[in-house]
Amino acid sequence: MRGNVGEDLADFVAARTAELHRTAYLLAGDQDDAERLVARAVGQLARDTADVGQAGQHARQSMARLAVAGTAPTVGGDTPDTAPVLRLSPRQRAILMLRHLDGLTVRMTARQLGIPRREIQRDEETACATMGFAVDDHRIGEMLTNLGEHAAWPDPAVTIERSRHAPASRLISRTRVAAAIGVAAVTIAAVTVSNAAHDSWLRSPAGINATHGTHFHAYTQGYKLVGVQTVTVGATRTINDLAPGGVLALSCARPDPRVPANWPQITDGTDVPQPYPCAAQSDRRYYLYAPDGVTSVTAPRQGHQEIAVARYVPVPWDRYPVAKSHFDVQHNVPLDLNAKANFGDSPVRVGETLTMHGTNGTFTGTARVPPSAASTTLFMSGLLSPTTTGQYRIEVGGSPMSDCSIPGSADDNDSGWCRIYDRWVPQVPMSDLGGPDPDIDTHGGSVVVRVQVRDALGPWKLQIRYDRYKAQN
């Protein structure tokens, strides 16, 4: 690639322009500075002799080295999800990016940036303290990624043209040249370790996203990202390497994912194509599809872009990075949500609402069932309203609520446990047609409700009510 920007590099910039600018915005914290940073990195690639297949890695590391010269925090343009990161200097963000997104060790980060290891450690600790996190907090990577999502980017041709006029990067001072020579002379084994670490990073969620230019969550709803495949417009592709218990998350077509014609189709062991409900998808929470047998995905023609299919595997609670703070609590669901969906009309007889509160432990209460009425159906409505992550199990009349789960979450069928892993904390509606036994269903009475809670960090509320509705024909 020495001498000018060839076709290979131009193709690389066209394919990866979004990823390049997200990385640059993460480092610079400013749109104009980010565009200049990308232009300088692309210009450096044109002057280097590196294989274009490694261009993404070289560009990312080049921008990180350029960013370490910045020592002042970014001013302005902050939002609640980016303010903690913008309080850092570009140098601190570069260190955190290599450590928390790219998975480099302190030694490898020092080598990449040409900074002594003790300064890397000091700056990382200072940056994490400024953000209010411990050094090993998984939310640091999430916040770095969130900042990059605020980037915009020009047409790739504009970036190519700017790169031709960008100044050459003076990345290493004369003082650091001698240190670099000393580091290079340590042993060939050090290179082997670095390559092994990079290979390991490529298999990590951050490496998977970087390779495919995607931004799927590393962890979501009890699952970990383990692979991504792409499907071109209008094509069908078999999804390989599906792990037992694994699920899929799909990117959705733009500009309007609410239009069903833009939804991908999934075909599995049932041999009946199912639309992937893009309307239920959001940046905070994916709709996770549990495939049955050999699975293929068809990308819609209306989307005019390829789609990405992410593969996730379940992770045990004790190995998952369960959120500990900054919860986004969703309390906007009515108790009778499922009843309205099933019956439409108001109940003929309304029972008393049992309300229970607590944190961790085992709790019991009694729900009253109204007496029978002619031509009516007994229906139980329940609503769990947690305020934090935790593990919740609810028994009504001695039986666990099998639908006490969050659709698409890991452990859905694990004895009725509701596990909430992430910062987004939803309410969990429950329902049951009829009573726990025929006698109560016919004559009314009382039902024992038992709640078990583990690992909750704050209070929760449970509401249970039995109503009688007009029987449906």
Res. 89: pLDDT tops 80: yes
Task: Give the pLDDT band of residue 216 (cuts 50, 70, 90).
Answer: confident
Sign of CA dihedral 106, 90, 195, 198: positive
Res. 171: pLDDT tops 50: no
What range does the domain containing 144 cover?
Answer: 7-201
The whole-angstrom separation of Cα 227 and Cα 212 is 10
Task: Give the pLDDT band of residue 218 (cuts 50, 70, 90).
Answer: confident
- Tell me which range, 70-79, 158-167, 378-387, is most confidently predicted by mean pLDDT: 378-387
Provide the domain count of the chain: 3
Q: Give the pLDDT confidence score for residue 398 in this predicted structure.
A: 85
Claim to verify: residue 351 and residue 395 sit in the same structural domain: yes
Claim to verify: residue 367 and residue 345 sit in the same structural domain: yes
Q: Give the pLDDT confidence score for residue 68 in this predicted structure.
A: 85
- End-to-end Cα separation, the chain, in angstroms: 74
Helix axes 156-165, 7-28, angle to 10 degrees: 90
Q: Give the pLDDT confidence score for residue 203 in this predicted structure.
A: 76
Claim to verify: residue 59 and residue 182 sit in the same structural domain: yes
Last residue of a domain, one of 161, 176, 201: 201
Q: Give the pLDDT confidence score for residue 168 in this predicted structure.
A: 66
The whole-angstrom separation of Cα 11 and Cα 345 is 60
- Tell me which range, 209-213, 370-374, 436-440, 442-446, is most confidently predicted by mean pLDDT: 370-374
- Tell me which range, 18-27, 396-405, 458-467, is most confidently predicted by mean pLDDT: 458-467
Q: Give the pLDDT confidence score for residue 191 in this predicted structure.
A: 43
Q: Give the pLDDT confidence score for residue 290 in this predicted structure.
A: 86
Residue 442 lies in a domain: yes
% of the chain beyond a pLDDT of 90: 19
Res. 177: pLDDT tops 50: no
- Backbone φ, ψ for residue 457 (5° rounding): -105, 0
Residue 2 lies in a domain: no
Q: Give the pLDDT confidence score for residue 93 in this predicted structure.
A: 93
% of the chain beyond a pLDDT of 70: 79
Res. 454: pLDDT tops 90: yes
**CATH classification of the domain holding 252:** 2.60.120
Claim to verify: residue 122 and residue 233 sit in the same structural domain: no
Residue 434 lies in a domain: yes
Last residue of a domain, one of 268, 286, 315: 315
Residue 272 lies in a domain: yes
Res. 189: pLDDT tops 50: no
Q: Give the pLDDT confidence score for residue 424 in this predicted structure.
A: 87
Task: Give the pLDDT band of residue 466 (cuts 50, 70, 90).
Answer: very high
Q: Which residues of 435-465 are buried (b: 16+ CB within 10 A; e: fewer)?
A: bbeeebbeebbebebbbbbeebbeebebbbb
Task: Give the pLDDT band of residue 452 (cuts 50, 70, 90).
Answer: very high
Q: Give the pLDDT confidence score for residue 185 in this predicted structure.
A: 43
Please provide the average confidence, as pLDDT, over all residues in the chain: 80
Res. 201: pLDDT tops 80: no
* Bridging pattern class, strands 328-329 and 424-425: parallel
Q: For 50-64, 141-155, 163-177, 222-236, which range has the lowest pLDDT when averaged over its residues?
A: 163-177
The whole-angstrom separation of Cα 211 and Cα 214 is 8
What average pLDDT does this structure show over 85-111? 89
Claim to verify: residue 168 and residue 235 sit in the same structural domain: no
Task: Give the pLDDT band of residue 182 (cuts 50, 70, 90).
Answer: very low
Claim to verify: residue 333 and residue 453 sit in the same structural domain: yes
Res. 183: pLDDT tops 80: no
Residue whose C-alpha is closest to residue 210's, from 198, 195, 220, 221? 198
Task: Give the pLDDT band of residue 175 (cuts 50, 70, 90).
Answer: very low
Which residue, chain included where needed, has tokens 């819609």? 300
Paired tokens of 386: 């947690």
Residue 208 lies in a domain: no
Claim to verify: residue 116 and residue 242 sit in the same structural domain: no
Residue 409 lies in a domain: yes
Last residue of a domain, one of 143, 170, 201: 201
Residue 49 lies in a domain: yes
Residue 321 lies in a domain: no
Claim to verify: residue 178 and residue 231 sit in the same structural domain: no
Q: For 185-189, 350-354, 388-392, which range has the lowest pLDDT when averaged over its residues?
A: 185-189
What average pLDDT does this structure show over 293-313? 81
Contacts of 23 (CB under 8 A, 6+ apart): 59, 60, 63, 97, 148
Claim to verify: residue 144 and residue 285 sit in the same structural domain: no
Asked if 447 contacts 370 with a C-beta cutoff of 8 angstroms, the reply is no
Q: Give the pLDDT confidence score for residue 69 in this predicted structure.
A: 76
Claim to verify: residue 123 and residue 98 sit in the same structural domain: yes
The whole-angstrom separation of Cα 372 and Cα 240 is 54
Task: Give the pLDDT band of residue 435 (cuts 50, 70, 90).
Answer: low
Claim to verify: residue 168 and residue 26 sit in the same structural domain: yes
- Of residues 99 and 434, the one with the higher pLDDT is 99
Kindly report, residue by residue over 220-255, the tens digit of the pLDDT.
Answer: 888 999 999 888 888 888 887 788 888 999 887 555
Q: Give the pLDDT confidence score for residue 360 in this predicted structure.
A: 96
- Tell me which range, 9-18, 93-102, 158-167, 246-255, is most confidently predicted by mean pLDDT: 93-102
Question: How many Å is the Cα radius of gyration of the chain?
Answer: 27
Res. 344: pLDDT tops 60: yes
Res. 178: pLDDT tops 50: no
Q: Give the pLDDT confidence score for residue 457 in this predicted structure.
A: 94
- Tell me which range, 10-14, 186-190, 372-376, 451-455, is most confidently predicted by mean pLDDT: 451-455
Claim to verify: residue 244 and residue 266 sit in the same structural domain: yes
What average pLDDT does this structure show over 164-185? 50
Give pTM, 2 decimals: 0.60
SS3 track for the chain: CCCCCCHHHHHHHHHHHHHHHHHHHHHHCCHHHHHHHHHHHHHHHHHCCCCHHHHHHHHHHHHHHHHCCCCCCCCCCCCCCCHHHHCCCHHHHHHHHHHHHCCCCHHHHHHHHCCCHHHHHHHHHHHHHHHCCCCCCCHHHHHHHHHHCCCCCCCHHHHHHHHHHCCCCCCCCHHHHHHHHHHHCCCHHHHHHHHHHHHHHHHCHHHHHHHHCCCCCCEECCEEEEEEEEECCCCEEECCCCCCCCEEEECCCCCCCCCHHHCCEEECCCCCCEECCHHHCCCCCCCCECCCCCCEEECCCCCCCCEEEEEEEECCHHHCCCCCCCCEECCCCCCCHHHHHHHCCCCCEECCCEEEEECCEEEEEEEEECCCCCCEEEEEEEEEEECCCEEEEEEECCEECCCCCCCCCCCCCCCCEEEECCCEECCEEEEEECCCCHHHHHHCEEEEEEEEEECCCCCEEEEEEEEEEECCC
What average pLDDT does this structure show over 407-426? 70
Res. 256: pLDDT tops 60: no
Q: Give the pLDDT confidence score for residue 364 in this predicted structure.
A: 96
Res. 473: pLDDT tops 70: no
Q: Give the pLDDT confidence score for residue 137 in this predicted structure.
A: 85
